[in-house]
């Protein structure tokens, strides 16, 4: 299996090399040259996440130097659960809880997988490897946790100053050692531009080997297909019905993973995206006009993205036009007041405490699906633990949110970060 740039001007590479580069030489994003075809029967007898992961991902690592280690990589990555929970009084609804990892967010899966792969890659280049990651909240903490302490690898986490929750910020800044946290005077899109600009900076490239751990890295995207495969197989075996998926999304990586899993033949029904008030995706699908814009701050801060990078992959796979994309997926925007309303309703009606991001999916399910659609089986993707957003959630539900043990341990560590301006020169100087 080889990997090609979405812009078609870079050579095809094996997956390990594509992961080490992060971004293709022509500025595009890597995609596999083809997608394998599966049926539910191909996973007969497989129930655990590591086993399903190995079966699903093996074709993507065919003939790669990492192929012999793939089973071990999957076992080390998928060593915490992704349970399906039925809300009270909703037999046709499930919550896919993806927040049981070390930083209590779905991004633990992709970040740990990438770190496990990178730590096994042969790196003869004497320049230090620096993993760059721009984060709107959850990605940076997951990447820091995955790469912390790995020899020969430095991590630079860029996050927008004042635009992540206090507990998210602690997760970004508590590591020390080979992890360096930078508070950027700008929004998430500025952080993302800095990461992309760093790859084009001659001085930085001469001094360091750079790699990105954002969802632009194919090593982050591939493992995210696994929990969609596992959830859909479990529900299909139980009910005989392919479940629909409602996916909260910002940079479109998690959503694309779901769409790719369905295209490969996993038993997944309709896919619906929920965004916050950053409406770039739903506006494009509604008007056919792709208009990236500056992000705006919302209660669902990890989805505050105005220029989703993975739209380039989505359009490369499914077609450039809005009509081509809407044949695969729908998207709805959810305002802050609607997020607050849904957090209250979910706690009252279901006995479930939702984070603001998961609440966007729940609101779309209740308010945007047609009555007939709601009679089908739906899965709401629960992307983060609500304890990471206690300042939003607790005043709405009137009770403290229990803090999972892994998160509690991180919150006890000291916090260290460095403020920098939102330009590549500032990043170059900070890394010098």
Two structure tokens written together for 387: 């304890």
Q: Say whether pLDDT at 59 is over 70.
A: yes
- Per residue in 214-230, pLDDT (tens digit) is 888 999 999 999 999 99
∠ CA 59-65-69 to the nearest 5 degrees? Answer: 75
How many residues in the chain? 432
- Per residue in 382-410, pLDDT (tens digit) is 999 999 999 999 999 999 999 999 899 99
Beta strands in 122-178 (DSSP E): 129-134, 153-160
Beta strands in 122-227 (DSSP E): 129-134, 153-160, 179-185, 209-212
Q: Say whether pLDDT at 124 is over 70.
A: no
State the CB neighbour count (10 A cutoff) for residue 363.
25
Task: Give me the helix-helix angle, 107-118 and 138-147, nearest 10°.
Answer: 30
Task: Give me the helix-helix angle, 424-431 and 188-199, nearest 10°.
Answer: 70
Q: State the pTM of this model.
A: 0.92
- Per residue in 318-345, pLDDT (tens digit) is 999 999 999 999 999 999 999 999 999 9
Residue pair 207/340 in contact by the 8 Å Cβ criterion: no
Q: Distance between CA atoms of 271 and 245, rounded to whole angstroms?
A: 5
Instruction: Say which residue, 211 or 421, is predicted with more confidence.
Output: 421
Helices (H), 251-370: 253-263, 280-287, 311-318, 322-326, 336-345, 356-367
Q: Distance between CA atoms of 343 and 10, rounded to whole angstroms?
A: 46
Residue 132: name the closest of 163, 159, 160 by CA.
Answer: 159
Overall average pLDDT of the 130-151 stretch: 89
Residue 138: name the closest of 116, 166, 108 by CA.
Answer: 108
DSSP helix/strand/coil, 131: strand
Q: Say whether pLDDT at 125 is over 80.
A: no
- Per residue in 310-319, pLDDT (tens digit) is 999 999 999 9
Greatest CA separation found in the chain?
60
Q: Which residue has the tokens 């991902």?
A: 57
DSSP helix/strand/coil, 401: coil
Beta strands in 135-197 (DSSP E): 153-160, 179-185
Q: Distance between CA atoms of 7 and 4, rounded to whole angstroms?
A: 8
Q: Say whether pLDDT at 189 is over 90.
A: no
CATH of 72-105+219-404, one of 2.40.10.120, 3.40.630.10, 3.40.250.10, 3.40.50.1100: 3.40.50.1100
Q: Distance between CA atoms of 378 and 72, rounded to whole angstroms?
A: 32
């Amino acid at each position: 299996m080889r990997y090609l740039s979405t812009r078609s001007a870079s050579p095809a590479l094996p997956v390990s090399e594509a992961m080490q580069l992060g971004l293709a030489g022509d500025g595009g994003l890597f995609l596999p040259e083809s997608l394998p075809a599966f049926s539910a029967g191909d996973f007969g007898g497989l129930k655990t996440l590591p086993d399903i992961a190995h079966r699903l991902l093996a074709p993507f690592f065919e003939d790669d130097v990492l192929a012999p280690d793939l089973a071990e990589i999957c076992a080390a990555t998928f060593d915490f659960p992704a349970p399906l929970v039925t809300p009270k009084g909703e037999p046709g609804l499930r919550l896919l809880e993806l927040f049981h990892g070390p930083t209590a967010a779905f991004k633990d899966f992709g970040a740990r997988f990438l770190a496990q792969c990178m730590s096994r890659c042969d790196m003869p280049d004497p320049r230090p490897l620096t993993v760059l990651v721009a984060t709107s909240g959850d990605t940076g903490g997951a990447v820091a946790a995955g790469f912390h302490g790995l020899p020969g690898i430095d991590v630079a986490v860029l996050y927008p100053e004042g635009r992540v929750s206090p507990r998210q910020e602690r997760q970004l800044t508590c590591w020390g050692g080979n992890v360096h946290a930078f508070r950027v005077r700008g929004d998430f899109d500025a952080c993302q531009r800095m990461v992309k600009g760093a790859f084009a900076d001659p001085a930085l490239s001469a001094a360091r080997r750079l790699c990105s751990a954002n969802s632009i890295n194919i090593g982050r995207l591939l493992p995210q297909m696994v929990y969609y495969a596992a959830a859909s197989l479990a529900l299909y075996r139980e009910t005989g019905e392919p479940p629909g998926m409602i996916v909260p999304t910002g940079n479109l990586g998690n959503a694309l993973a779901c769409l790719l899993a369905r295209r490969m033949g996993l038993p997944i029904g309709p896919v619906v995206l929920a965004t916050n008030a950053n409406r770039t995706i739903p506006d494009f699908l509604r008007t056919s006009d792709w208009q990236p814009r500056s992000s705006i701050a919302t209660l669902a801060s990890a989805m505050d993205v105005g220029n989703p990078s993975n739209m380039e992959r989505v359009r490369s796979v499914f077609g450039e036009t809005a009509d081509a994309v809407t044949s695969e997926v729908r998207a709805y925007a959810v305002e802050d007041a609607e997020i607050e309303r849904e957090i209250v309703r979910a706690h009252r009606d279901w006995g479930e405490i939702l984070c603001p991001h998961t609440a966007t999916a729940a609101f779309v399910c209740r308010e945007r699906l047609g009555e007939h659609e709601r009679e089908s089986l739906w899965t709401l993707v629960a992307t983060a633990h609500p304890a990471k957003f206690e300042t939003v959630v607790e005043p709405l539900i009137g009770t403290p949110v229990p803090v999972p043990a892994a998160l509690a341990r991180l919150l006890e560590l000291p916090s260290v970060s460095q403020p920098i301006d939102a330009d590549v020169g500032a990043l170059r100087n900070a890394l010098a």
